[in-house]
Structure 1
Amino acid sequence: MNGVILEIVLAAVAAILAITLHEAAHGFAAWGLGDDTAKLQGRLSLNPLRHVDRVGTIILPGILLIGQLVALGHIGFMFGWAKPVPVAAWRFRHPRQGMALVAAAGPAMNFFLAWIGALCGWLLPYVSPQMMAPSASFIQDFILANIVLGLFNLLPIPPLDGGRIMVGILPLPLAAAWARMERAGIAVVLLLLFILPLAARQAGYNFDPIHEILSRILPWAMRLVFNLAGQSV
């Protein structure tokens, strides 16, 4: 039982760090492009409490962590969000393109953190035997949380970062139509992520498009991160 509790704590810390730094990256990117709204509201902080959303950062990831560890014995998928960083896109020189860059900063931060986590694997031989297992578990959880969060947010559905990137790169008429999806975007994500797969399983069908996409890309992304860190897997 103590081992399960430790695994939950380590995975929760990894997920909170991934989500928090993802949001902070949005704020720093906006600041760099000329919008200091997040700075003025204290959101350029690395303090997780500044970014935590009670449901998206704690309750939902906690349910997923505990459920997967109890049912599967490992963590295969994470989903969550933090309080959105306030951005005044009109303050950018090119608002649509600036917002796309701000959106891309979140996943970019996650991929960078995953690479840092892989580099930390080189330190494991110097860790004491008692700390070897929890250290290796935390590194694995940290890399996985960041890669999954980064990849998931690149799905081209507003208000995910990928949707906002699409708004920045599409021709204006298409971009306007794409942006209008944001009002229903979270509902679409939850529908594809939870409701339809559950209903399909109850009916005896296998329909889980988001999980299918991520499960195909995730092994390749994990190998790439470790290879870039100089480690073969």
Structure 2
Amino acid sequence: VDIIDLIPVSNEKICLEDEEEEILDLVREYKKINDQELRKMFCLLTKFVKVSEKSSKKSEKIKIAKGMVKAGISVDIVAKTIGLSVDECVEEKVGSIYCQIGKKIKEWRLVRGYTQKDLAEKMSTTRDEISNYEQGRVAIPLEKLYAIAETLSINIMDLLELTEDADDKVENELPNLIEEYKEIESQELRYALIKFLFESIQICEEKVKRVEKMKIAKDLVKGEISTDIILQITGLSLGEIQQ
């Protein structure tokens, strides 16, 4: 027996070899597609899966972070441990008028190249106050709104022009989706499309989020946060976070 055969192959090397084989298979399938438009769709589907995975991981992070903050853990500690901004760890009044105005303030602040601290200093106030306004946590007095608009060199109406909410956007996009779907003549292709979309979403919901949840839980344990709180917020068992 050759001594080389007795040396164990690392899992990392096996994973790299498997990934290389997957990529080769992907390239082979891609090269079989002659139509340029179909090649573009192939790339878009790959991007769809990547974005779905990334979005699922981020939403799980935010969900756990907000739960930890509600349980009384310092928002700064949670943000640092999980890898989010402080604002992402705090509950927003989603859809409220103050939340929408706050988003406008943040958009214009970034356009001007200001940090929250910069804007606060120009208005002789605190960063926390600006953060509260941007997150829609508190009502913004009218005189303060005028002051923010003036500091950002915009009209107050630029802050009061509210954005279309997510539900409205979905409603507006649905007719196009239905039209595109109805133009697919093959029932078999329709079924394949639905199956692909639903399976992708299901994998993200059941597997991607769970793996991310376990990773976050282990990071929180390393950050010396109470195990009882971690188990309560994540819904995991003690055995799962000790694996």
The TM-score normalised by the length of structure 1 is 0.24
The TM-score normalised by the length of structure 2 is 0.24
